Amino acid sequence: MSRRHCRPRGQGVFLCCLFLATLTACAAEKQRALYSPLDPETPYYDNYGYSETAITGDTVEITYLSRDESAIPYLDYVERTKQVLEQRAHDFALWRVAEATLENGFTHFVVKETTAQTQKHIVGRDPDLTYHRDLNYMILIGYSAYRTNIWLQPVVTLRARLLPEAVADKTETVDVHDAQAIITRLESAYPLARESVDPPLIPR
């Protein structure tokens, strides 16, 4: 066999190895923890985490913006994913309220106001994508090849009044939360919340 035929085959093997090495490196790259502050350097649509605003000396407003997460575009699956992400966003906002309560010298808090919404992004694949590229996504990334990707990004805001333990049971008719108990419960429910996470499965 001539060198003219051998060279493309060698180059093909090299390019294949390079592609797989790049894919492995990308897969190994981690993102910051889901339970972490918003990054001021990151654009809103790629950002996630909590932010805090002091309203008065004993009132704070905490917002948790979820990371954009993909959902398989079937109605029941999208709805289940939406419920899970919304619950997590609420829990993480509540978690941060509890931490802010202790950091400000209080022990209990009540949630006075809750606002929540889920942004839904529907992203279509390039119609010129070939079957082989879709097959690569399906095999190498482990995700079935859909022409439409649905992304969900809940955001929850809690306005809370912080209370000293002495008046925690006397001044409020709504549920009074023990800050330390909330932190302990949510740390147990989300043991990996402070760990670095893998990026979303399919890039936008």
Same-domain status, 73 and 163: yes
Alpha helices of 104-178 — where are they, by DSSP H? 131-136
| Chain-centroid distance, C-alpha 25 | 21
Same-domain status, 50 and 38: yes
Same-domain status, 17 and 73: no
On whether residue 146 sits in a domain, the answer given is yes
Distance between CA atoms of residues 43 and 154, nearest Å: 16
Same-domain status, 65 and 76: yes
What is the DSSP secondary structure assignment for residue 201, as one 8-state letter?
A: S
Same-domain status, 65 and 132: yes
On whether residue 117 sits in a domain, the answer given is yes
On whether residue 68 sits in a domain, the answer given is yes
On whether residue 128 sits in a domain, the answer given is yes
Same-domain status, 5 and 79: no
On whether residue 195 sits in a domain, the answer given is no
- Rounded to a whole number of angstroms, the CA Rg of the chain reads 23
What's the structural domain count of the chain? 2
Same-domain status, 6 and 102: no
The answer to whether the CB of 58 falls within 8 A of the CB of 108 is no
The answer to whether the CB of 68 falls within 8 A of the CB of 152 is yes
Same-domain status, 109 and 82: yes
Query: What does the pLDDT read at residue 199?
Result: 84
Same-domain status, 8 and 91: no
Query: What does the pLDDT read at residue 170?
Result: 59
Query: What does the pLDDT read at residue 201?
Result: 54
Query: What does the pLDDT read at residue 110?
Result: 95
On whether residue 201 sits in a domain, the answer given is no
Residue 57, domain extent: 32-189
The residue count of the chain comes to 204
Same-domain status, 153 and 85: yes
Same-domain status, 87 and 3: no
The per-residue pLDDT string of the chain (204 residues; one tens digit each, 9 = 90 and over) reads: 443 444 444 444 433 444 444 444 445 588 999 999 999 999 887 899 999 999 999 999 999 999 989 887 788 888 999 999 999 999 999 999 999 999 999 999 999 999 999 988 777 654 444 333 343 333 334 444 445 678 899 999 999 999 997 675 555 567 899 999 999 999 999 999 999 998 875 433
pTM for the predicted model, two decimal places:
0.73
Same-domain status, 39 and 7: no
Sign of CA dihedral 119, 125, 131, 137: negative
Sign of CA dihedral 80, 86, 92, 94: negative
